Amino acid sequence: MSKTITIDGLAVPFQEGQTIMDAALAAGVYIPHLCHNPEFKPHGSCKLCTVNVNGRNVASCTMPAVEGQLVLSDIAELNAERLALTQMLFVEGNHLCPACEKSGNCQLQAVAYYLGMMSPHYNHFYPQREADASHPDVMLDRNRCIYCELCVRASREVDGKNVFGLSGRGIKTILVVNSASGLLGDTDLAVTDKAVQVCPTGAILIKRQGYAVPIGQRVFDRLTIKDVQTGGSHE
């Protein structure tokens, strides 16, 4: 006997132990998200996946699905707030799409397109962030980091390493790596690591691969992030 929750009026089945996000993705219902990746334990930091459950706002990626929940997701107020959060992420870092190799394949950018972002709205922070090209095969550009900790999770849960972590607090949060020098080149990161592939933005890039796919054929050039992330493959 299947249990169900209701998302925007649609009955969505779920299994015990699934979150609202799990159930939604399985049913092809798109709830915008950035720090969530179904291959890893949910995180709950970006807050884009916030939905209204029985009158209260919760992060759908961490909230367990419970029989009878009335979930509102695709409503004007929540979409406006998701747009605001996306704009906050853009002004917090240094996200310059024209100069970034991830452009066209970037989830942050794709979510912004989906939500119809025409400008970052808030005043830019232009923070001082370090880039790190010390590793022979992997580039770390902290200007683009959104603290989703997917690299942290992937390194621990899949690669069996602990290459990445967060330090600092608040707006001074910073991505750090597991070496005394602080350099990526002095860690045991390998280019084949899952942690290298999982970054939703251009913060972690494989060197010498950029621009191989022409404009017009990149992941999000024709398809929206909704199409891609509910179509089975979760880029």
Using CB under 8 A, which residues numbered 191 to 210 contact another protein? Answer: none
Q: Which of 18, 79, 134, 197 binds another protein (CB under 8 A)?
A: 79
Would you count residue 97 as binding another protein (CB under 8 A)? yes
The one among 27, 91, 190, 206 contacting another protein by CB under 8 A: 91
Decide: is 113 part of the binding site for another protein (CB under 8 A). yes
Among 73, 105, 107, 109, binds another protein (CB under 8 A): 109
User: Which range of residues in 20-28, 111-119, 132-140, 198-206 is near another protein by CB under 8 A?
Assistant: 111-119
119 in contact with another protein (CB under 8 A): yes
CA–CA separation, 172 and 188 (whole Å)? 26
CB of 229 to another protein, least distance (A): 15
- Residues 6 or more apart in contact with residue 20 via CB below 8 angstroms: 5, 7, 14, 31, 51, 53, 58, 60, 61, 63, 64, 65, 69, 71
Measure the CA angle with vertex 149, ends 143 and 152; round to 5°: 110
Structure tokens given for 64: 């367990």
Question: Which range, of 2-10, 62-70, 195-203, 206-214, touches another protein by CB under 8 A?
Answer: 62-70
Q: Does 60 bind another protein (CB under 8 A)?
A: no
Counting contacts by CB under 8 A, is residue 8 touching another protein?
Answer: no
- Taking the C-alpha atoms of residue 176 and residue 93, their distance in angstroms, rounded to an integer, is 16
Q: Which two tokens stand for residue 59?
A: 């992060």
Determine the Cα–Cα distance for residues 19 and 13; give it in Å rounded to an integer.
Answer: 11
